[in-house]
Structure 1
Amino acid sequence: MSSSTASASGAPGTTGAADPIAGSATGSPIALTSRAPHVPADRLVAEMVPPPRFDSVRFDNYIPDAKQPSQAEAVQVLGGFAAGLGGASASGTGRKRWFRREAKPAAGPRGVYLDGGYGVGKTHLLASLWHATPAAPEHKAFGTFVELTNLVGALGFQQTVRTLSDHRLLCIDEFELDDPGDTVLVSSLLGKLVEAGVALAATSNTLPGKLGEGRFAAADFLREIQGLSAHFRPLRIDGEDYRHRGLPQAPVPFDDDTVTRTAYATAGASLDDFPSLLDHLSKVHPSRYGAMCDPVRAVCLTGVEPVGDQSTALRLVVLADRLYDREVPVLASGRPFDELFSEEMLNGGYRKKYFRAISRLTALARDAKSLVVE
């Protein structure tokens, strides 16, 4: 198991994701540090759908940057891929064939790989592909690379193969090229699924500074998945991070009193001391972070400070992803989010994860400004 998941102890908890929100009736904020939900394996499978942030995304409402023709091209290519699976076209005008047999998929790659930097809309397009595939939710799956490895850990390799083999499509967001062990594990899984006829789609998380170096991430991806390369068409998507396109800089942190006051005034808000939350994350398996955040409507953190070690930093990355998926605003005091990770971390093997976390936490910090109680 990778360092991004093995570092948590997975200690069992007694608080379920569906439990009432502590303090919701009195106005007291939730403490994330009091939550350690148990998530059954069957729930992990059932929840392999696009997260709430991407419930309503479609090919039609993806807005390509006019300066980046690769973005419009991606919509067309993925629309054709959806049509090959029997799905709707990119324009949304595809019709189901109710009274005649579906044509066999055209020959060619049965997978697409979206290669690009942060915030160019890869996840929007991947979720749109999932929505365009006309199969019941239980016959198409969508999850991050980390969620997929967590599923294998929960079910075992063979059971995961059996569970996913009857799916029409498997979408993997943020395929991790920096974790050889888990990459080989998932590569073996994908090989079995391709043999079973499952179509595949994946995205990368290329560091923005690498975008000028040809197909850097795509080449790494195709090499890591070895014999699966023939099943994927690499599709490059260029552009700048839409989360920061034309927007002001991330808001500066607030003081402790403002964060605390806002937490008490906001229904469903959580309030935690940042160091205590980091310690709590070490006691909850990352596969449970989503359930831990499910009842939360806003996260308030006091005393944000740089993360001291890589294991803790990787757990924080997973939490940031789950909060971003659920569109949970984050209000914080202490240090700005772009100071969470050291220069050594930002230049190391997990730099792609850290830059993604900074980008997403910055967006959530902007979302939190409207909640502030002065």
Structure 2
Amino acid sequence: MSSTAGPQPQARTTASRPGGEDGPARLCAREPHVPAERLVAELVPPPRFGGARFSTYHPDPAQPSQREAVERLSSFAGGLGDGGDGPSGLRGLFRRRAKAAAPAGPRGMYLDGGYGVGKTHLLASLWHAAPAAPGRKAFGTFVELTHLVGALGFQQTVRTLSDHQLLCIDEFELDDPGDTVLVSSLLGKLVEAGVALAATSNTLPGKLGEGRFAAADFLREIQGLAAHFQPLRIDGEDYRHRGLPQAPEPGDDAEVTRAAHATPGASLDDFPALLDHLSRVHPSRYGALCEGVDAVCLRGVTPVPDQSTALRLVVLADRLYDREIPVLASGVPFDRLFSEEMLRGGYRKKYFRAISRLTALAREAKHLPEG
């Protein structure tokens, strides 16, 4: 399998391409179906981080841990081997030796830190720096990885990823016990096959699941996951807000509607209807939901009503940010999407990340035509 070989299978949707003769498309009218082979082919850094390199990461001089992270990850990439293209060559010899003698110590790097310190940039830089060919290294979010298992089955996922040099997992979180057991088993198999691991999260590996479910009941699996990684702490403030003006105030419904009609490739949806639609689309398909969209326009943004809805919105915010799609909205500002109770709970770091990313996308929407 190679992510660069031949035309890639496309997601199918029931909506016309945004910006057509009938005006803006509606995300609510889209029902993407993503074939399993596309899930594998798209295990590469998203567009926002397609050009990410260690040289383009700018450490904050006031945060020594950021420069240290670049140095340690560069060294980690350099130690990954020659990146041969198949099990029959040197790569295969390395994998057979890895199976014969289990590696001493963790074979993974775990980037822990607050939102906006550049963890995804560094993870993507590691992927690009790894010497393997694109088809022998994978990059995906945690939810994309778990959905890959659902689409291919556990054993086929193990076979598909076992000949890889490196697996990068962004936004590593354990939200339920099933994911804990699934990912623990999968990563254990991949480490046995000689696959190196790297992950980002806002939670130390030994603390995954805290505040979300009875983590103590799954302590063995959580400790097993932690054993695969060397934690790498990255401190700092959110770079998306460093020295930037405050996020623009939301417009009114009429302004958003006019901008959607004046912007080629824009979509236009009422926020409550979009939240309802997200409940019927698997989060792993939210990227396909936004395919071909150049701007998202939302009318009537309100605080989200419950935790399940909020977590789906977090995933959508991540996919919009990955794809550099600006968001223009009316209603409440994005920093009022989540209740105080949510911002104090076990998912608070996810919600702060979503606020940060949506605010950045709202700034980018300032350049849309006003109609």
TM-score range, shorter chain: 0.7 to 0.9
The 5 A counterparts of 1:71-86 are: 71-86=66-81
Structure 2 counterpart of 1:47, which letter? Answer: E
Q: Does 1:343 pair with 2:340?
A: yes
Q: CA deviation at 1:284?
A: 1.3
Structure 2 counterpart of 1:344, which letter? Answer: E
Of residues 31, 41, 44, the one that matches 1:46 is: 41
Task: Give the match's secondary structure for 1:341.
Answer: coil
The TM-score, its normalising length taken from structure 2, stands at 0.86
Q: CA deviation at 1:57?
A: 0.5
Of residues 297, 316, 324, the one that matches 2:313 is: 316
Q: CA deviation at 1:228?
A: 4.4
Q: CA deviation at 1:227?
A: 2.9
State the distance in 1 between where 2:11 and 2:193 align. Answer: 35
Q: Does 1:64 pair with 2:59?
A: yes
The 8 Å contact of residues 17 and 294 in structure 1, kept in 2 or not, is answered as no
State the distance in 2 between where 1:341 and 1:228 align. Answer: 30
Give the corresponding residue for 2:330.
Answer: 333
Structure 2 counterpart of 1:251, which letter? Answer: P
Of residues 109, 113, 117, the one that matches 1:112 is: 109
State the distance in 1 between where 2:343 and 2:18 align. Answer: 38
Task: Give the match's secondary structure for 2:181.
Answer: helix
Q: Which runs of 5+ in 1 are unaligned?
A: 1-14, 89-99, 207-216
State the distance in 2 between where 1:277 and 1:229 align. Answer: 37
Matched residues, percent identical? Answer: 75
Give the corresponding residue for 1:220.
Answer: 207
State the distance in 2 between where 1:304 and 1:269 align. Answer: 17
State the distance in 2 between where 1:159 and 1:203 align. Answer: 25
Q: Which runs of 5+ in 2 are unaligned?
A: 1-9, 84-88, 210-218
Q: What whole-Å deviation, never above 9, does each CA across 1:169-228 have from its counterpart, x for those lacking one?
A: 00011110443431231111100000000000011124xxxxxxxxxx244259653234
State the distance in 2 between where 1:238 and 1:22 align. Answer: 41
The 5 A counterparts of 1:274-293 are: 274-293=271-290
Q: What whole-Å deviation, never above 9, does each CA across 1:227-254 have from its counterpart, x for those lacking one?
A: 3444321111000000011112211100
Task: Give the match's secondary structure for 1:225.
Answer: helix
The TM-score, its normalising length taken from structure 1, stands at 0.85
Distance verdict in 2 for CA 1:124–1:87, change over 3 Å = farther
State the distance in 2 between where 1:24 and 1:356 align. Answer: 30
The 8 Å contact of residues 270 and 300 in structure 1, kept in 2 or not, is answered as yes
The 8 Å contact of residues 16 and 36 in structure 1, kept in 2 or not, is answered as no
Q: CA deviation at 1:37?
A: 1.1
Give the corresponding residue for 1:267.
Answer: 264
State the distance in 2 between where 1:221 and 1:311 align. Answer: 19
Give the corresponding residue for 1:179.
Answer: 176
Q: Does 1:165 pair with 2:162?
A: yes
Of residues 18, 30, 53, the one that matches 1:35 is: 30
Task: Give the match's secondary structure for 2:268.
Answer: strand
Q: What whole-Å deviation, never above 9, does each CA across 1:149-176 have from its counterpart, x for those lacking one?
A: 1111111211111111111100011110
Number of positions where the alignment pairs a residue of Structure 1 with one of Structure 2: 339
Give the corresponding residue for 1:149.
Answer: 146
Give the corresponding residue for 2:197.
Answer: 200
Distance verdict in 2 for CA 1:352–1:87, change over 3 Å = farther
